[in-house]
Amino acid sequence: MALRSNSSTSRESSEKITIQNVSRSYESTQALADVSFSVAEGEFCCVVGPSGCGKTTLLRAIAGLDDPDSGSVLVDGNPVSDPGLDRGMVFQEYALFPWRTVRGNIRFGLDRPACDCADCEARVRELIDLVGLEGFEDAYPKELSGGMKQRVGIARALAVDPEILLMDEPFGSVDARTRDRLHSELIDIWTQTEQTVVFITHDIDEAVTLADHVVVMDADPGTVQSTFSINLERPRERTSPDFVDLVAQIRDELGSPVETTV
Ligand code: ADP
Ligand code: MG
């Protein structure tokens, strides 16, 4: 899956993220066992699998927030050891600062969060526009819906214009209609920014809606079971025969009841 095969884009492809034989155990639990796959530059990769199969552990390893016991994670061929500005992360449960406004939370993603120079102000304004939160600049997280909170999380992760966007089940807590809207907004942002995205989900429909490639994981221990190329034009029609067929193939592969949105 190093080569991007999606005909809907003409971006050049090269390997951006390489996961090589990564294993990670927590006491008696083997969260990841010999996991290997790669993500091409500019690719939208979804990782799908049941709860507990090591998806968050894997994303944290790519983010440099957790060290594998063995194996390596490479970005641009260089081993990852720490978090870096080249990788932005969107967390599952928003992880916003409740005492900061929308503007304050987004500003926190900047290299210099305390800076109020014209450039930083302009960047915050640009991010607010990008995620459609105009008019809510001074709102606090408790005043926002789940979808709006996750827009703030996305804007914060995008603040330093990272080359890689890591997203851990970001839309798991929002209602289905909002999720549909966020999907198309995310694809628009990805098209504009040309970032490499690793998006974790346990929802097969979501994975097939968004991804160029889907990595299917299995649990106990967490392993890569297979990968699927999603060569469908965007925006994708969930009722199209090809879409339905891919969802069915992935569901068969998982062989266990994983949630879907239909
Ligand atoms: P997923 O995101 O796919 O649900 P996780 O990566 O969160 O999976 O977890 C994989 C496995 O590792 C699970 O069995 C989980 O209970 C275990 N695990 C994750 N983090 C820890 C931790 N900090 N301490 C102990 N066990 C953990
Ligand atoms: Mg998780």
* pLDDT tens column, 67-97: 999 999 999 999 999 999 999 999 887 789 9
Cα separation, 210 vs 219, whole angstroms: 23
Whole-angstrom Cα distance, residue 169 to residue 150?
11
The closest ligand to the CA of 47 turns out to be 1
Is the pLDDT confidence value at 114 over 90? no
Q: How far is Cα 22 from Cα 29, in angstroms, rounded to an integer?
A: 15
**Ligand index nearest the alpha carbon of residue 60:** 1
Indicate the helix (H) or strand (E) that contains 155.
Answer: helix 146-158
- Regarding the beta carbon of 196 and ligand 1, being less than 6 Å apart is answered no
Write down the pLDDT at residue 30: 96
Separation CA 94–CA 150 (nearest Å): 6
Q: What pLDDT was estimated at residue 220?
A: 93
Q: Which ligand 1 atom is the nearest neighbour of the CA of 58?
A: 6
Phi, psi of 105 (to 5 degrees): -65, -45
pLDDT for 13: 61
183-201 average pLDDT score: 94
160 burial level (CB within 10 Å; 0-12, 13-18, 19+): middle
Tokens of 25: 């155990």
What is the tens place of the pLDDT at every residue in 27-69?
A: 999 999 999 999 999 999 999 999 999 999 999 999 999 999 9
d(CA 81, CA 66): 8
Does the pLDDT value for residue 8 go beyond 60? no
The reported pTM is 0.90
Distance from the CA of 43 to the center of ligand 2, in angstroms? 21
Residues of the chain with CATH 3.40.50.300: 15-86+164-172+195-254
Give how far the C-alpha of residue 93 lies from the chain's centroid of Cα atoms, to the nearest Å.
13
Task: Quote the CA–CA distance of 137 and 33 in Å, as a whole number.
Answer: 44
In this structure, the residue with its CA closest to atom 13 of ligand 1 is: 52
pLDDT at position 205 over 50: yes
Confidence of residue 113 (pLDDT cuts 50, 70, 90): confident
What's the mean pLDDT in 147-170? Answer: 93
Is the shortest distance between the CB of 201 and ligand 1 below 6 Å?
Answer: no
Nearest 5°: phi and psi at 218? -120, 155
Contact assessment for residue 167 and residue 199, using Cβ atoms and an 8 Å cutoff: yes
Class of domain 15-86+164-172+195-254: alpha beta
CA 153, 159, 160, 166: dihedral to nearest 10 degrees? 20
* pLDDT of 131 strictly over 70: yes
